[in-house]
Amino acid sequence: MSEINWDALRAKANAAMKKAYVPYSKFPVGAAAITEDGRVVSGCNIENASYGLTLCAECSLVSDLFATGGGRLIAFTCVDAHGNVLMPCGRCRQLLFEHSAEVMLLETVSGIKTINQVIPDAFGPRDLEERK
Ligand code: THU
């Protein structure tokens, strides 16, 4: 896992951020991730006049994940308008958890962390199976 090129991945997130549609918040976000099979997927936030319908950058990223063949995420980063690392919101941590590999690393405001560190004891697909 230490072979992840975080600078290159952040550059992809920056490129995605530049495509954000943010007429309301003026707060563009870009996200990028590496899949288990080595693809890079990315996304930007897409807002809506009905504010609550805003798609976070992570939502777009998950769409890209499926549009390009699906699979699981092994590394993720997210940036703001200045290219600084941004923490995924709580909802998006749950979203990422759903599509995470057994070990998924995230570049965060407090260093490289695992998905389990950023959403401890997460509710997930396994709970649906085990608690029927
Ligand atoms: N935003 C994201 O795209 N991802 C996050 O994880 C945090 C928030 C977006 C949503 C909204 O368009 C803008 O940032 C301000 O909240």
Helix 90-98 with 57-67: angle, nearest 10 deg? 10
* CATH code assigned at 63: 3.40.140.10
Number of domains present in the structure of the chain: 1
Q: Which H or E run contains 26?
A: none
Query: Is the CB of residue 62 below 6 angstroms from any atom belonging to ligand 1?
Result: no
Please check whether residue 74 lies inside any domain of the structure.
Answer: yes
Query: Does residue 1 form part of some domain?
Result: no
For residue 2, pLDDT over 90 is answered with no
Range of the domain at 38: 6-130
* pLDDT above 90 for 1: no
Give the pLDDT confidence of 85-131 residue by residue, as tens digits. 999 999 999 999 999 999 999 999 999 999 999 999 999 999 999 99
Quick check: is 21 in a domain? yes
pTM: 0.96
Residue 108: the pLDDT is 98
3-state SS class at 49? coil
Does residue 29's CB lie within 6 angstroms of at least one atom of ligand 1?
A: yes
